[in-house]
Amino acid sequence: MAISTGDTLPDANLLHVGADGPAAVNLADRLNGRKVVIFGLPGAYTRTCTAAHMPSFIRTKDQFAAKGVDEIICVTVNDPFVCDAWADSTGAKDAGITVLADADGAFTKAIGMDFTAPPVGFYGRSKRYTMLIEDGVVKVLNEEASPGECEISAGETLLDAM
């Protein structure tokens, strides 16, 4: 069952590359008492993710901060090394956007946002979505109908909904 507005996000351990290599990031710790934007996407280095989705949050980062958002987190079903390299190459890291790996897809499955598209080699990937989370609770949820679209999940659309 997919996550809905008003639901509490399940706890999850995601991964990032730190100074000593891959390290776990407890999502509940990042959400507790904070206003956070989470956006999920099918994969690092894919066309729409790189050309549209990530740039929409880089462009709007300061506007989210002005609305009290403490952190913007991108979650993707990739390994942490790919996520780290992609964060560098897109400018997300320099912009202050956190990119976390859901390497085994457990979080993505737990919130019902997983999909598989064998013709393009996507197995257990994330649908494209955006959520505004306040203290672990989903306040706004925007899910795209197709993983190749980036309109209702773009940063600008979420800003308008806040």
**Which residues are annotated as catalytic?**
49
Is residue 84 within 8 A of residue 50, CB to CB? The reply is: no
3-class DSSP assignment, residue 143 = strand
> Please, which residues have CB within 8 angstroms of residue 127's CB and are 6 or more apart in sequence?
40, 42, 113, 114, 115, 143, 144, 147
Report the distance separating Cα 37 and Cα 31, nearest Å: 10
Structure tokens at 77: 């079903």
Distance CA 81, CA 20 (A): 12
